[in-house]
Chains A and B, each alone.
Chain A
Amino acid sequence: MEIDIRAAARLRGSAGAQAAVRPIVEALCGSDADLATVRVVCDWIQYKANFRETAMVRPVLAADDTVAGVTGAAAGACELAVDLRRCAQPETDVAAEVTAAILDTNPDRVWLEPWAPSSASCLWRFNALFWQALVDWEKATGREYEQTLPGGASDARNPGAATDTILDLFKIWDELASRRALPEQLYVLELGVGNGGQARTWLDQFVELDRRHGRDYYQRLHYLMGDYSAHVLDRARAEVGHHGDHVSGLVLDATRLSGTVGFLSGKAFLVYISNVYDNLPSDEVATIRGRVYLVQARSFVPGGAADEIAARFGLRRPELAQLTQRLLRIGPELLAESVPEKFPDTGQAVLFWQAVWAALRQAERYVPLEGLDTYPIAPGLTGEILRSLLAAEGDIRMHVSNGALASFADTLPLLHPFGRVVCHDLFTTGAGEYRSGFHGPGKYDGSVVNWVNGPLLQQLASRRGYDVRFSPFKQRPGSHVTTLTAAVRD
């Protein structure tokens, strides 16, 4: 039996966590589980709102039973996943949680979807809905999204960060101008504009610094704001209205940029991305005893919570999954219109949404990947790109960051030869970090938060001739935010 305590630092600092290890082992020894094939993985899940139960069993399949023709995909082994943070709490009966997880072969759950790779799970549709129907969500909570962020404000409002990037651009433009190679239009693209705070801060700062610099670059500047949410974009447009024609807004999918901003190819001097990648769908892969597996997930609402939600909204239990799917398809406003007897107004539909979201959990299992090259990660990218990271790290589980990779891969070609991508987000900066910490997914208000596999983005960039550097987000010391900078190599 293997016991992998990833939360090693937490273990050292928490007597409760140390005390929890023994009942885990005892519960396993008291069960019929084949201990030789059991792996125990102890994470410290720092997100209080998350998708995990205190203890859960993840089967390790011998073959993918979702592939046509494959039958008898019996579990070759299993993994017991434990949240050490909750186990460390005195009120948690660790042995009971573990025993229940091991013995409960047919748990009382309302399944919301079939098994699928994590990136295809409905939790990402919940996430997308949050941004699409943000105005409804905010109305129901009475708080704007920014107020839920740490410190109550987005990192994007930081004038210091804006000054640094603007002065860097001035240096590049001065150099190009001296060689008569400065393009007529100077493009800057921001992906994920939030409420427009970053754009406003950056542009206001630009005007001021440009005035001092004396080259009138502002006349040539075109600032493009791209966001998935039309509502967010409208709010951002209002925020930067005083910059007139220098700003344009585009509704776009950050993972498919070439279709909307392909015209910028080779022209963007700066692509600024703040806290977008952690919010894009991601798979997870794992190497277990030398074999590579894809994590499949399946969302559910625990039976007890399902009964409570059903009672609150006057539903029969089977209607829960059906109405959730409908909500994800048409949003709360239309859901209220289509089922007025259950949801008399949009606000009630949002409350239903919030209740399901709060109760949402995910079961997981490991399905073998027969060949990395047969695993499509993003358009034009296969699992081959994972090979060296997986080979270097032994048994490890990591994010594939499919959405971030797709977005990043589509962003790089937009860069002018002297352009750069500046991205503030939650990045792992070494594959080994997955050994020592939990990096998502967690819930953040109505959205998903998931760390981005930085070394994987670095690998992609390197293969395409770009250097990627990570540095601490210097405008907010101590935060988990890291700055990724990508620029042409050679």
Chain B
Amino acid sequence: MSNGPLLRHLLPTTVVGSYSVPQWLERLKTEYYQRRISAAHLAEIHEVAIKAAIKDQEQAGIDIVSDGELRRDNDIDYFLARIPGVLIERRAKTDYYDYLEAEVAAELPADDKESLGLAADYAFTSGLTDRPVKFSFTGPFSLSRRISGAPAYRDPADLVRALARRLNLEARSLAAAGAGFLQIDEPFLAGYPEQAELAVEAVNIVTDGVPVTWALHVCYGNRHARPSWEGHYDFLFPAVLAARVDQLVLEFARKGLDDLNLIKEYGWPYQLGLGVIDVKSPAVETPALVAERIRRAAEYVDPGRLMVNPDCGLRHLAPEVARCKLRAMVTGAAIVRTELGLPDR
């Protein structure tokens, strides 16, 4: 954990991770599974799409960019398909976005050093931009929820811990490759509120000994642009106070700002990634609305601890909508910066 150099100016803007997946890319990803295009061609297509996604973010004025997670079919498969010991019998899909069915027959190998390839993904992205890069990956708790059977682990919590250890190795590789800002996504945690302590324990295994700025993103799901669960973030507290991360990234635009009370009430001491863009709605927020959301948040959290981002990934938004939303977010943050008498950049 590190307080990192990321907050070089007030209210930096960033993304949560995924970027708009255009319809043509969805089609090509599915065609790969139907054996119509090769893996090599799809890899090249992904690289071109990532370049475009970074350019879009730069042009929108985003301070900390991501690769848009455009290589990943969804939030799970990219990782489970690469973790040694995770078995996926059937790798064909009707639609690329479907989940693969994964199992773990024996305990995950403890001494396997095989790379999952995330460091190479990071290196590709950082080579394309002068801006800081946020690199996100799905956390061990959510990954474990998509493993249908793990008979070797009598206690399901042990599978979560084993996945966390594997991700810790990958995080170390990412840090060695120069990554300075890593984010753990736990999109399934809201569906299992009683497991918050286990999820936090696993997060701490992932971040252990990796000196980067760490963010933890918890939302209510964004599968098919729908929330998978409803509720409030109170389930996270006080367990999340024990998480060794620098930043909590939460959704507020869709759900409203009521849960900001929790940040104040429990005294969350670090940064807050403030969701100000509703990624489940195609309606583009005005900069004024974004600014108002930031102002309201500043009543609860010192602006010096706020980072401005969408509620979640932008993958389900049409490209033009995603671009407009990011521009509105950047402009909204600039409005508040100016009001606070600080230079825009």
Bound together: yes
Q: Which residues of A contact B27 (CB under 8 A)?
A: 384, 387
Within 8 A of A (CB), among B14-47: 23, 27, 30
B229 located at the interface, meaning its Cβ lies under 8 Å from any Cβ of chain A in the complex: yes
Q: Which stretch in B83-91, B172-180, B220-228 binds the other chain?
A: B220-228
Answer whether A373 and B226 are a contact pair too, CB < 8 Å, given A462-B94, A462-B95, A463-B95. no
A373, B224: Cβ atoms under 8 Å?
no
B95 A465 Cβ-Cβ under 8 A: no
Least CB distance from B229 to A in Å reads: 7
* A465 interface neighbour in B23, B226, B229, Cβ under 8 Å: B226
Kindly provide the distance from the CB of B148 to the nearest chain A CB, expressed in whole angstroms: 12
Q: A417-B229, A465-B226 are in contact. Are A373 and B23 (CB under 8 A)?
A: yes
B99 at interface by CB-CB < 8 Å: yes
A384-B27, A463-B95 as given contacts; A490 in contact with B223, CB under 8 Å: yes
Inter-chain contacts of B224 with A (CB < 8 A): 463-465
B62 to chain A, nearest CB (A): 27
Q: How far is the CA of A417 from the CA of B224 in the complex (A)?
A: 12
Inter-chain CA distance A388–B23, complex, in Å, is: 14
- How far, in whole Å, are A462 and B30 apart by their CA atoms in the complex? 13
Q: Which residues of B contact A465 (CB under 8 A)?
A: 223-224, 226
| Closest beta carbon of chain B to A380's beta carbon, Å | 9
Of the candidates B30, B99, B230, the one whose C-beta lies within 8 Å of that of A490 is: B99
Q: Provide the residues of chain B in CB contact with A462, threshold 8 Å.
A: 94-95
Q: Measured between C-beta atoms, what is the minimum distance from B345 to chain A in Å?
A: 37
CB distance from A134 to the nearest CB of B (A): 37
Contacts of A464 in B (CB 8 A): 224
Q: Which residues of B contact A417 (CB under 8 A)?
A: 226-230
Q: Measured between C-beta atoms, what is the minimum distance from B320 to chain A in Å? A: 14
Q: Which A residues between 304 and 355 are near B, CB-CB below 8 angstroms?
A: none
Interchain CA distance A462-B94 in the complex, whole Å: 10
Return chain A residues, CB-CB under 8 Å to B97.
Answer: 463
Nearest CB of chain B from residue A435's CB, rounded to whole Å: 22
Question: Could you tell me if A384 and B228 are in contact, using CB atoms closer than 8 angstroms?
Answer: no
* Size band of the interface chain A makes with B: 10 to 19
Q: Which residues A361-388 have CB closer than 8 A to chain B?
A: 373, 384, 387-388
Q: Which of B209-243 contact A (CB under 8 A)?
A: 223-224, 226-230
Cα–Cα, bound, A358→B286 (Å): 55
The CA of A266 and the CA of B97, in the complex, are separated in Å by 22
- Within the complex, the shortest CB–CB distance from A55 to chain B, in Å, comes to 40
CA distance A266 to B228 in the complex (A): 11
Chain A residues, Cβ within 8 Å of B94: 462
Contacting residues, chain A, for B223 (C-beta < 8 A): 465, 490
What mask results when residues 145 to 173 of chain A are scored 1 for a CB within 8 Å of chain B, else 0? 00000000000000000000000000000
A384 in contact with B23 given A462-B94, A462-B95 (CB within 8 Å): yes
Closest B residue to A384 by beta carbon equals: B23
A161 CA / B223 CA spacing, docked (Å) = 32
- How far does the alpha carbon of A384 sit from the alpha carbon of B228 in the complex, in Å? 27
Q: Which residues of A contact B227 (CB under 8 A)?
A: 266, 417
Q: How far is the CA of A384 from the CA of B23 in the complex (A)?
A: 9
Cα of A417 to Cα of B226 in the assembled complex, Å: 9
Instruction: Kindly list chain A residues whose C-beta atoms are within 8 Å of the C-beta of B23.
Output: 373, 384
- A388 to B30 Cα, complex, angstroms: 10
Min CB distance, B146 to chain A, in Å?
Answer: 9
Mask for A461-490, Cβ within 8 A of B = 1, else 0?
A: 011110000000000000000000000101
Q: Measured between C-beta atoms, what is the minimum distance from A376 to chain B in Å?
A: 14
B99 partner residues in chain A, CB cutoff 8 A: 490
Please give the distance in Å from B136's CB to the nearest CB on chain A.
20
The listed residue with most A CB atoms (<10 A of its CB), out of B95, B99, B224, B227, is B224
When C-beta atoms are compared, the residue in chain B nearest to A490 turns out to be B223
Chain B proximity mask over A407-424: 1 for CB below 8 Å, otherwise 0: 000000100010000000
Shortest Cβ distance from B97 into chain A, in angstroms?
8
Among residues 92 to 134 in chain B, which have CB atoms less than 8 Å away from a CB atom of chain A? 94-95, 97, 99
Whose C-beta in chain A lies nearest to the C-beta of B34? A388
Q: CA separation between A77 and B95, bound complex, in Å?
A: 36
B230: chain A residues at CB < 8 Å are 266, 417
Mask: chain A, 431-471; 1 = CB below 8 Å from B; 0 = not: 00000000000000000000000000000001111000000
Q: CA A233 – CA B226 in complex, angstroms?
A: 32
CB-defined contacts of A387 to chain B, threshold 8 Å: 27
Contacts of B30 in A (CB 8 A): 388
Instruction: Give the distance in Å from the alpha carbon of A417 to the alpha carbon of B230 in the complex.
Output: 9
B226 / chain A contacts, CB cutoff of 8 Å: 266, 413, 417, 465, 488
Complexed CA–CA distance, A462 and B93 (Å): 12
User: Which residue from chain A places its CB closest to the CB of B226 in the assembled complex?
Assistant: A465
- A490–B230 alpha-carbon span in the complex (Å): 16
Chain A residues closer than 8 Å to B228, beta-carbon distance: 417, 490
Nearest chain A CB to B162 CB, angstrom units: 24
In the complex, A387 Cα to B27 Cα: how many Å? 10
Closest residue on chain B to residue A417 by CB atoms? B228
Chain B's closest residue to A415 (CB) is B226
A387 to B94, CA, bound (A): 13
Tell me the bound Cα distance from A229 to B228 in angstroms: 36
List, in ascending order, chain B residues with CB within 8 A of A463's CB. 95, 97, 224
Query: With A and B bound together, what is the CA distance between A462 and B97 in angstroms?
Result: 10
How many whole Å from A445's CB to the nearest CB in chain B? 40
Residue from B27, B97, B226 whose CB has the most chain A CB atoms within 10 Å: B226
Which residue of chain A has the shortest Cβ distance to B146 in the bound complex?
A: A490
CA distance A410 to B60 in the complex (A): 32
Cβ of B226 to closest chain A Cβ, rounded Å: 7
A384: chain B residues within 8 A (beta carbon):
23, 27
What's the nearest-Cβ distance from chain A to residue B144, in Å? 15
Complexed CA–CA distance, A373 and B99 (Å): 26
State how many angstroms separate the Cβ of A446 from the closest Cβ of chain B.
39
Smallest Cβ distance from A410 to chain B, in angstroms?
A: 14
Q: Which residue of B has the minimal Cβ distance to A387?
A: B27
Q: How far is the CA of A17 from the CA of B201 in the complex (A)?
A: 75
Q: Give the docked Cα–Cα distance between A417 and B191 (Å).
A: 12
Residues in A lying within 8 Å of B, measured CB to CB = 266, 373, 384, 387-388, 413, 417, 462-465, 488, 490
Interface CB pairs A-B, < 8 A, 6: A373-B23, A387-B27, A413-B226, A417-B229, A464-B224, A465-B226
Top 3 nearest A-B pairs by Cβ distance? A465-B224, A464-B224, A465-B223
Besides A465-B224, A488-B226, 17 more A-B contacts (Cβ < 8 Å) are A266-B227, A266-B230, A373-B23, A384-B27, A387-B27, A388-B30, A417-B226, A417-B227, A417-B229, A417-B230, A462-B95, A463-B95, A463-B97, A465-B223, A490-B99, A490-B223, A490-B228
